[in-house]
Amino acid sequence: QVQLVESGGDLVQPGGSLRLSCSASGNIFIINSMAWYRQSPGKQRELVARHSSTRDIHYADSVEGRFTITLDSAKNAAYLQMNSLDVDDSAVYYCKANIYARATGSVDYWGQGTQVTVSS
């Protein structure tokens, strides 16, 4: 079984920066993609950034130019660097990984979420 653990959520002031981490562990052969989603009260969960391959990186329009997703294959980890944070970025951020293993094929896994609060 695969486990995802997120960290890095915190309280920051508008204009500040934060770096989220997501580490995958367990029965991993290939990580097909990793992505960050977020959800705030009263809103549906939305895709923030996804790294499916070196030639398939997607950002939501609302974070384009401010957020950067990176993958570290040696650590089975993904990171989300968030700059110029705005109050509207406040949400619980979730990591999702699509992982292939011989026993399961390709399966989506979700982390537990980490809270990001942008407030003065």
pLDDT in tens, 94-120: 999 999 888 889 999 999 999 999 999
Q: In whole angstroms, give the CA distance from residue 76 to residue 30.
A: 9
Q: What is the pLDDT of residue 55?
A: 67
Model pLDDT for residues 61-91, shown as the tens digit of each residue: 999 999 999 999 889 999 999 999 999 999 9
For 56, residues 6+ apart whose C-beta sits below 8 A from its C-beta are: 33, 50
